Amino acid sequence: MSAEIDNRAELDSELYGELADMVADMNVAGNRITPQNDCRSGPPSTTRVSDRKMSLQERGSRMPRQRTIETKRVSITDADDCVQLNQYKLKKEIGKGSYGVVKLAYNEDSEKYYAMKVVSKKRLMKQCGFFRRIPSKGPKPDFPLEKVYKEIAILKKLDHHNVVKLVEVLDDPDEDGLHMAFDLMTKGQVMEVPTDHPFTEEQAHFYFRDIVLGIEYLHHNKIIHRDIKPSNLLLGDDGHVKIADFGVSNEFEGTDAHLSCTAGTPAFMAPEMVTEHELSFSGKALDVWAMGVTLYCFVFGKCPFYDENIISLYSKIKHKPVAFPETPSVSDVLKGLIERMLDKNPETRITIPEIKLNEWVTENGSYPLPLEEEHCTAVEVTEEEVQKGVTLIPKLSTVILIKSMLRKRSFSNPFECLGNRTQRSMSLPGGLLTGPWSLPKASSQTHPTMRKVGKEGSREGELEDLNEDEDDA
């Protein structure tokens, strides 16, 4: 299995290297400063990493986020090397999200590359229990897509240096695919796990502070991520970590979320999530546990609890104490922080405010993190913004109809008597997001303990396993 993972890591490295070359000429990075250390290989540079971070994040000098562009222009065509969706040219697959694939997308209006996540609405409804029997008593569950649209409306307004930005959402009401355009992170995920080349303690310190600030911002806005792990932590062009993939995130009211369902990646799940007798558990504590597993991965290159069998893995998470390898050698204060984050009792587990004051995080108080009110702003989403959370794409037949009318300067129906006009065929563009764009099934499979709980899929020919939905429905 390690050979497959190493091969996958090599392919991912080549892919993101190619993406970096493609967007270099488009000036994706703008005027942002790139740290001298690549942050994934080699020792840190002589210039102190933390000094650069202070200048980027804690001086409060960054520009506010621009509002999401809402465009009503529709152009759907099938070209040789891409599929055009509005102003976006959808190119090759560059990754997989929580319930869909991610494609490289070029925005002709802004002349920039983005990551376009294509998800299956049918799969979403099934995951949210839409196909289950509605209870006869008690409050009726919300329509699944309503929750998704509210999540989208929130993500469009999130504005933090350590959270990936959602740029635009496009939704065809008659199609299964939902398209979400995110800022493209050309450097890819912060780390492949497992790896024989973990971070130095200084590199781990640099990235972990980013994670702490990003999670504090999400919790400030009453969002539990629920799936923090290295593959969901992407590197921006400035070398800083951006938290991504909110596919299993939860909103909450009050001071904390009280969750009762299991979601996330097994190897990063907290003990209270895999205990049958636990009725509910703290959402914030779940994120802290996953952060602890991630920090362990940073410095040791592997998860603290691992087993080929998921049941045995859950048993280790619940009962086995965390153990530290002899190599690489890390400081006792870092081990102490990891132990407090991996406290099996959520009631005594360290919290985000306590982590911010930890001596390893603050370098014995000489390098404090900014206060919550200094880098967090509350996000408020109105009902109108939820309703306008997506750009609706008209039916493809309507687009063809309008184009035909404009071309012929006639308001007659171009679909009338098609059999008598074979010389001017108005057939639909073949293989829209299918046909030659059909995605092959992955040749290498990630071990179940490193994948999310719950199946994920999408549109037939583009996302995997959609036929399973049709069989199960």
Q: Give dist(CA 340, CA 324) in Å, integer.
A: 14
- Based on the residue annotation, tell me whether 227 is a catalytic residue of this protein: yes
DSSP letters of 417-453?
Answer: TGGG-GGG--PPPTTTTSGGGPPPPPSS---GGGS-S
DSSP letters of 86-106?
Answer: TTEEEEEEEEE-SSEEEEEEE
What letter does residue 368 receive in the DSSP assignment? P
Q: Give dist(CA 344, CA 335) in Å, integer.
A: 15
The active-site residue, picked from 171, 172, 210, 227, is: 227
Token couple for 416:
């009338």
Is position 117 annotated in a ligand binding site?
Answer: yes
SS3 80: coil
Instruction: Give 241's Cβ-side CA count (13 Å radius).
Output: 27
- Contact indicator for 50, 367 with CB cutoff of 8 Å: yes
Query: Under 8 Å CB-to-CB from 142, ≥6 apart: which residues?
Result: none
**Residue 159: which of 63, 237, 38 has the closest Cα?**
63
Looking up tokens 């907290």, which residue turns up?
Answer: 270
Helix (H) or strand (E) holding 406: helix 396-408
Residue 19 CA to its chain's centroid (Å):
18
**Hey, which residues does 102 pair with through a beta bridge?**
95, 117
Tell me the CA distances in angstroms from 316 to 287, 308, 313, 446, one per residue in order.
19, 12, 5, 20
- Contact indicator for 112, 89 with CB cutoff of 8 Å: no
- Contact indicator for 151, 160 with CB cutoff of 8 Å: no
SS3 63: coil
**Hey, which residues does 93 pair with through a beta bridge?**
103
Binding positions: 117
Binding positions for ATP: 117
Catalytic positions = 227
